[in-house]
């Protein structure tokens, strides 16, 4: 998607109809919305979501669309702690048929070619990769993809789905809980693909910054690293 198209799509607003929500883990919820036929996105992109069923301060947040277009539903998956923001409280109050507004989806965080790619998720940063893997599952494989899913609490979201995809394709999924192990896996991928690999990193901002620095210190050029830094964590 070109910069021009991206800029245009941020002005495209539409209201999505709420279908249901469910808990994924102790503090993570998924929200499903109807996908109108003409709404589409690149797996991995995010939208700007606005609460419209009530008046709140700061009603807009960016969220990755955690579903693939092929799933025909818009899924948001978000961490909601003990004292959530008004935005997240409002999300938990949604009833079937109520609307949330989306601008976009936008962003350059998606697979552009068939290059071997290392997908590195930190915690809730798994959302864009769920979308990418689901799309690959629907469309067929497109080159070596290895997902490294790091979570120090070992609370891995979508584990069953990810394992299923890994079992039925050449995509590899590795669950990790320590930085040392993560670095080892990154080193192995770098050794295997040298300059031909692409690197996608998503998660809390500090984690994305650290991993991106690690990659750059290991001779990976900036252009080969795509980042999706989740602010607010």
What does the binding site for ligand FAD look like in residue numbers (CB under 6 A)?
A: 46, 61-64, 66, 77-79, 81, 83-85, 87-88, 124, 127, 228, 230-233
Cβ of residue 47: shortest distance to ligand FAD, in angstroms? 9
Structure tokens at 226: 């795509």
* CA–CA distance, 16 with 99 (Å, rounded to integer): 5
Give the nearer residue to ligand FAD in terms of CB position, either 144 or 226.
226
Beta strands in the chain (DSSP E): 13-25, 28-34, 46-51, 60-64, 73-79, 99-106, 117-122, 145-150, 172-176, 198-204, 225-230
Structure tokens at 61: 């947040």
* CA–CA distance, 119 with 138 (Å, rounded to integer): 18
Cβ of residue 144: shortest distance to ligand FAD, in angstroms? 25
Give the nearer residue to ligand FAD in terms of CB position, either 205 or 216.
205
Cβ of residue 45: shortest distance to ligand FAD, in angstroms? 9
Give the nearer residue to ligand FAD in terms of CB position, either 198 or 226.
226
Cβ of residue 67: shortest distance to ligand FAD, in angstroms? 11
Give the nearer residue to ligand FAD in terms of CB position, either 77 or 117.
77
Number of CB atoms found within 10 A of residue 139's CB: 12
Beta strands in 80-183 (DSSP E): 99-106, 117-122, 145-150, 172-176
Nearest residue to ligand FAD, using CB? 232
């Amino acid at each position: 998607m070109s910069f021009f198209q991206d800029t245009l799509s941020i002005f495209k607003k539409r209201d999505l109809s709420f279908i249901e929500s469910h808990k994924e883990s102790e503090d993570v919820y998924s929200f499903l919305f109807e996908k109108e036929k003409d709404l589409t996105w690149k797996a991995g992109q995010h939208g700007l979501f606005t609460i419209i069923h009530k008046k709140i301060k700061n009603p807009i947040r960016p969220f990755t669309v955690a579903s693939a277009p092929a799933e025909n539903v818009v899924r948001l998956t978000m961490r909601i702690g003990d004292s959530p923001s008004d935005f997240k409280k409002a999300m938990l109050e949604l009833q079937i048929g109520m609307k949330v507004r989306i601008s976009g989806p936008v962003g350059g965080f998606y697979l552009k070619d068939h290059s071997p790619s290392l997908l590195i998720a930190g915690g809730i940063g798994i959302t864009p990769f769920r979308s990418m893997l689901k799309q690959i599952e629907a469309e067929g494989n497109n080159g070596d993809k290895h997902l490294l899913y790091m979570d120090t609490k070992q609370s891995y979201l979508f584990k069953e789905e990810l394992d299923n995809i890994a079992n039925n394709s050449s995509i590899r999924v590795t669950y990790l809980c320590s930085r040392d192990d993560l670095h080892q896996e990154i080193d192995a991928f770098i050794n295997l693909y040298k300059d031909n690999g692409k690197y996608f990193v998503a998660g809390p901002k500090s984690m994305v910054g650290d991993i991106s620095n690690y990659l750059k210190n290991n001779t990976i050029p900036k252009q080969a690293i795509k980042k999706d830094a989740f602010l607010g964590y």
